[in-house]
Chain A
Amino acid sequence: MQITSRDFKRVASRKLADPKLQKALGNAKGKLVVTRARSILELDNYEEIREASARVRDFGLQNMDVLLEEWERRAVAAGTIVHWVESGREVNAKVIEIARRHNVRKIIKSKSMLGEETNLNHELEAAGLDVRETDLGEYIIQQSGETPSHIIAPAVHKSRDDVADLFAEKHQRRRLTDIAALTHEAREILRPHFLDADMGISGANFLVAETGSTMIVTNEGNGRMTTTMPRVHVAITGVEKIIPTLEDVSMILRLLTRSATGQSISNYLSFTTGPKRPDDKDGPGEFHVIIVDAGRTKVLASDMREALRCIRCGACMNHCPVYQNIGGHAYGWVYPGPIGSILTPSYVGLENAIDLPNAATLCNQCGVVCPVKIPLPDLMRKLREKQVERGLRPWGERVGLRLWAWAAARPRIYSLLTRIGARIGRLAGGRAGLLHKLPPGGSGWTTGRDFPAPKGKTFRELYARERAGKRSGPQ
């Protein structure tokens, strides 16, 4: 996916002023936060499960190499063809190579965020392949030529009217407005493609080392179709998806679906181990799994490694006051919200996503709801430190901070400057004691509100007076 994270501030301002988007976000926010909270209450030992889940993910990270080898050995024994690739570009090339070898013309795809990272659909189309997204949200955005704005609900930014217009145009049918009718129209349109596609592409929520399986979590049934109907199935997945046992997956699933959509369980949990067996009546003749690095090992080696625990539930964005107000597109790459503010700079370079770690109030809502206890605010703070260390902040800010540091290390000068500043502030504040416009550096604060003016005395002056008063006061 093209990276537009550098435009964060400009796009975020535009999104704040978009009434249609604001309505869609308001609708989603209320539902997702409440349904999660309610479903968490079903687990009387939620915190205990959460702690254990974080430990399982850490075990996966710490023993990733041996676990992947164990997974591979069992997958190969079940007939899976395993490929290892280093970059996003090579993922696309490998998928195209497999498609060519099997004379594939039509591909059905269930959701893969890794596929979004590598721009897979675009590359497949450029190679002359017919590829159709089948998750309803992904289908909608593929048809409208957009990118997902949420990792679980990719079309959450679109209204039913948007979808009605889109379907009427793309399907050349009568315009429907009822949401159920629109959903069933997509079913009718996509059903024939499920039945005659040559190849299915899916992601994987987890790779189970114990059994050599890939597993996916879906609600619509498109995941089952994609992994069962076509004659070739290719699953693409990052190395960090490895998990030790079926018991570990079962435990984490109790948190994943509740954190994502507030469901106690999602409709379909599919564990795939190898291709069609000799006597099976259905299933693909060949099953390929492409294991991908694409930046993961770099993150594993960095102080951002806890972000690799992520199980892609989306709770952090659902609960983020910044995401709730600007939506996912402003973040400019595949992963929005707090986890995106960490993964995007880690995968595409801090200099290409300079504003993302700063697009947070550090209120820690994300940290509180994360089912695998990723310390999201701490990681964002570390990225902010790196921006400063690497001199990536704008020159005005850097010079300003250096001047402040110089003055702050010299008490007499600091005292003098703050006294001058406090007095100018009092004068500028007038009778109301409010500043309507701050100078550059603080002007953003006053575009929407006033700033309380200093009252004329610095803290040091007040402190000195207080101490003097105590000394001379009644004993």
Chain B
Amino acid sequence: MSARENILGRIRAANGKTGAASAAEREAVAARLRTHARGPLPSMDWDPLPRFKERCIVMMSTVDQVASRSDLPAAIARYLTSNRLPLGGVCWPEFADLDWGGAGLDIAARPATGRDMVGVTGSFCAIAENGTLMLLSGEDTHATTSLLPETHIAVVPASRVVRSMEDGWDLLRREREGLPRQVNFVSGPSRTADIEMTLVMGVHGPFRVHVVVVN
């Protein structure tokens, strides 16, 4: 008997079940998995976009809003300059067409290395409940861009702000087939309180997260 069979056998015995799982038993579990039934949700009697912006700030992100996609380079340059941050970094390929040079920025469309100081990403969607970005790994959505640089700038189309994580999963099921290698829910900069319960931003991930909503 393999460890697998031993363990599964002991689990069945512990639950007072004998023999292999019946077809009915399997179907009961499969049905539970198929329905995606939601548990009780807290009240969400707010508009998603203002709530999202408000909760981003609670999670220590900063927020900006622009009228259109072509306004992004100038808005990001303004943010970086006013915070005395480096003006160079990397972005996801979906932003390669923007006129970064025209705004005085040097942004390359490639995955981040340990040396890149600014990373510009999009997001699959954003979640209003807690000011969260939902990021999927993939060919053109490099995980390193939101992780290695000290400053993470995330672009969120206003139309992609949903209420809850549950809404995010439903959107993913509608638009994609299966899960990517990794789904990351990011809410604000990296932080710890491991020394004397004192909150410090910027442990291993970004020191700051700046969210730019595009109308």
A268-B186 CB under 8 A given contacts A62-B15, A136-B203: yes
Known contacts A250-B165, A254-B42; is-contact A282 B30 (Cβ 8 Å):
no
Cβ contacts under 8 Å, B59 to chain A: 264-265, 267
Contact B179 A211 (CB under 8 A): yes
Q: Are B192 and A183 in contact (CB under 8 A)?
A: yes
With both beta carbons as reference points, the residue of chain B lying nearest to A141 in the complex is identified as: B194
- Asked if residues A86 and B6 are in contact (CB atoms below 8 Å), the reply is yes
Which of B17, B114, B194 is close to A153, meaning CB atoms less than 8 Å apart? Answer: B194
Contact of B40 among A49, A211, A270, A297 (CB under 8 A): A49
Q: Does A346 contact B (CB under 8 A)?
A: no
Pick from B6, B21, B143: contact of A228, CB under 8 Å: B143
Chain A residues with Cβ under 8 A from B183's Cβ?
A: 270-271, 273
**In the bound complex, do residue A183 and residue B182 qualify as a contact, i.e. CB atoms below 8 Å apart?**
no
Docked Cα-Cα span, A140 to B198, in Å, equals 15
Contact status A297-B14, CB under 8 Å: yes
Q: Annotate A247-260 by CB proximity to B: 1 below 8 A, 0 otherwise.
A: 11011011000000
Q: Is the Cβ of A277 less than 8 Å from the Cβ of B181?
A: yes
Contact of A84 among B7, B32, B132, B198 (CB under 8 A): B7
With A53-B39, A297-B10 known as contacts, the answer to whether A190 contacts B190 (CB < 8 A) is no
Rounded to whole angstroms, the CA-CA distance of A364 and B138 in the bound complex is: 47
Instruction: Give the CA-CA distance A137 to B193 in the complex, in Å.
Output: 9
Contact: B194 with A213, CB < 8 Å? no
Give the one of B32, B39, B204 with max A CB within 10 A.
B204
Chain A positions within 8 Å of B4 at CB level? 84
Please tell me if B184 contacts chain A, counting CB pairs below 8 Å. Answer: yes
Interface residues as binary, A289-328 with B (CB distance below 8 Å gives 1, 0 otherwise): 0010100011011000100000000000000000000000
User: Does A194 make an interface contact (CB < 8 A)?
Assistant: yes
Write out the residue numbers on chain A whose beta carbons fall within 8 Å of the beta carbon of B7. 84, 86, 239, 291, 293, 297
Question: Which B157-209 residues sit within 8 Å CB-CB of chain A?
Answer: 164-166, 169, 178-198, 200, 202-206
Q: A69-B8, A248-B39, A250-B164 are in contact. Are A153 and B197 (CB under 8 A)?
A: yes
A254, B185: Cα distance in complex, Å: 13
A66-B29, A211-B179, A267-B187 given; A153·B193 CB < 8 A: yes
A220 touches B191 (CB 8 A): yes
Contacts of B166 in A (CB 8 A): 246-247, 250
Residues of B within 8 A of A210 (CB): 33, 36
* Overall SS of chain B's interface: loop
Is A56 in the interface zone, CB < 8 Å from B?
yes
Contact (A220, B205) CB under 8 Å given A66-B21, A247-B37, A267-B189: yes
A222→B25 CA distance, assembly (Å): 39
- Residues of chain A within 8 A (CB-CB) of B36 are 210, 245-247
- Complex CA–CA separation, A64 to B191 (angstroms): 34
**Residue in B closest to A190 when the chains form the complex, CB atoms:** B204
Is B68 among interface residues, defined by CB-CB distance under 8 A?
A: no
- When the two chains form their complex, are residues B12 and A65 in contact, meaning their CB atoms are under 8 A apart? yes
Known: A221-B204, A268-B184, A271-B183. 11 other contacts (CB 8 A): A49-B40, A65-B11, A70-B29, A86-B3, A135-B194, A211-B178, A225-B205, A229-B144, A245-B37, A272-B182, A301-B13
16 residue pairs A–B, Cβ–Cβ below 8 Å: A45-B40, A45-B41, A63-B28, A65-B12, A66-B25, A84-B3, A158-B195, A184-B202, A187-B204, A191-B204, A213-B179, A220-B190, A228-B147, A247-B36, A267-B190, A277-B139
Q: Which residues of B contact A (CB under 8 A)?
A: 2-4, 6-8, 10-15, 17, 21, 25-26, 28-30, 32-33, 36-43, 55, 58-59, 111, 114, 129-130, 132, 137-139, 142-144, 147, 164-166, 169, 178-198, 200, 202-206
